[in-house]
Structure 1
Amino acid sequence: MKQYFITGTDTEVGKTYVTRLLLEGATALGKTNVGYKPIAAGCENVNGVWVNEDASAIQQASGIAVPINEINPIRLIPAIAPHIAAAEADIELSGKVITKGLETLQHYEPELLLMEGAGGWRLPLGQGVFLPDIISSLNMEVIMVVGMKLGCLNHAFLTAEAIIRDGLTLKGWVANDISGDMARYNENLATLKRELPAPLLLEVPYNRVPHQHLLFTAIEQLS
């Protein structure tokens, strides 16, 4: 089993979309897979069950049928920073819950397991604990999603530096064109390819699915 943590250079850079693409591509390649989003804020009541839109998308993309409470064990109602929403609801964002949830999904024995974070890399959980502390204890390799927009160079370099400084391996990164009109897109992409200390796994064009062979190549690099 291969397992990776998917982070982003910021919130709203396409982590869930990239996670879905990789899971669906793995299924098309005949690889069993499952996604995991341990913490999600902004949940809505759906037939008596609190559901986060991103977690639901990951559940639907997973090649193994898994209940939503296993895909997303920590569900918070307000669409705000998770540690603030958790404090208001008197919920502890516990590393034990995150680790236990991961172990539950590991019991399905998927060939590929993708765990998606919330927001960017340095997500606070409260009481001086940050999500990377948990990822470090799990020794998971990291995939970084770069939202291609003005400022992405700084965000990408700082995030990559933080991942490596935390003692983790940056397996690779994904360039996600989130607007379709970034000035000097190709020049910025070339700079990232030249300066980031990990390979480009996949380039996701704006409003289009990447060519299948490129997606398959990315997944093979994760196998």
Structure 2
Amino acid sequence: MSASNHLRQGRMLLHKVVILGDGGVGKTAITNQFVVQYFVETYDPTGGEDYRKQTVIDGTPCMVEVLDTAGQDEYVALRDQWIREGDAFLLVFSITSRTSFANVRKYYQQIQNIKKSKVPLILVGNKCDLSSTDREVSNEEAEALAKELNSTFIETSAKTTHNIDEAFHNLIRLHREHTVEQEQKAAEAAKTEVQTKGASQTDSCGVKKTGWRKRLSGFIKSLDKNKAV
């Protein structure tokens, strides 16, 4: 693979995953469960931490670097840098917070403003272990938003580990597909450029040859006329 952030670690590929979402939705808890299988009950706002985990997905070993970002507004400038460095994204909201759900569009737009193109991302509704009476966002609403963002939706529970690995593994699969697509497009563009240049050079030579032949033919005709006179 040759994507800018898709680096080789020996025989393993490095996938840079950025987790975005409001403070308190469970980004750090999701990260901890995936990386070290550990859940912290108390909420402690993070300023942005990165972790690495070696794993095997679909029989292929890889290194996953997870950037757990801060959701507070004072980290907006840093968030831009985190997005620039990322390969793939988990957009996280709490199913018990409509505000965090509404703010997903803000993070998505920030990604689009920086990346300028489609990137692998998954919409994650966390805290599905909580009582249904606490739920403020329905599954149907989340599915609709995921479709709007050209993404997929998955519900997780950092507390019970429900769908935690699945969320990351599905995202890595998307990133692999995206990388292959980008490389194929680059190869096709390079091939087209070579063919275009080759055709241009052939046409150029052809024009010169045609002009030379016309001049020679005209010269011979003029000689014949002079002889006839």
Q: With structure 1 as the length reference, what TM-score do the two structures score?
A: 0.50
Q: With structure 2 as the length reference, what TM-score do the two structures score?
A: 0.49
Looking at CA atoms only, which structure, 1 or 2, has the larger radius of gyration? 2
Higher helix share: 2
Which is bigger in relative contact order (C-alpha 8 A, separation at least 6)? 1
